Amino acid sequence: MDIRASLASQQYAASRQAAQPTSNNEQKVNSFTGVAQDFAQTLQNGEQTAMAALSGDADPHALVQALAQTELAVETAVTVRDKVVEAYQEILRMPV
């Protein structure tokens, strides 16, 4: 058996799996999960930096930067929540 043919079939199988389309809902769930995990990680990093600053282990500049990132993440989450609630209320106002 030709080794090149074997390698080619293995590469084809690997690339075929990577190129398979995923459903639109699956992509939305994956992206939402990623965003939620990033949000939680940002909050956790800010909390860890604040705890380190209280014990004197963190640089004040790092604390300010972590708190700014946390504030931005929370403001973004609140804005998204407000938009979702507004859209829901608009749907409820639609005549049937």
State the 10-residue block means of pLDDT for the chain, 96 residues long.
62 62 63 87 91 87 90 93 96 90
Output the six-digit token pair for 51. 């705890």
pTM of the model: 0.61
pLDDT for residue 36: 87
Alpha-carbon Rg of the chain, whole angstroms? 23
In this structure, what token pair is assigned to residue 62? Answer: 């790092």
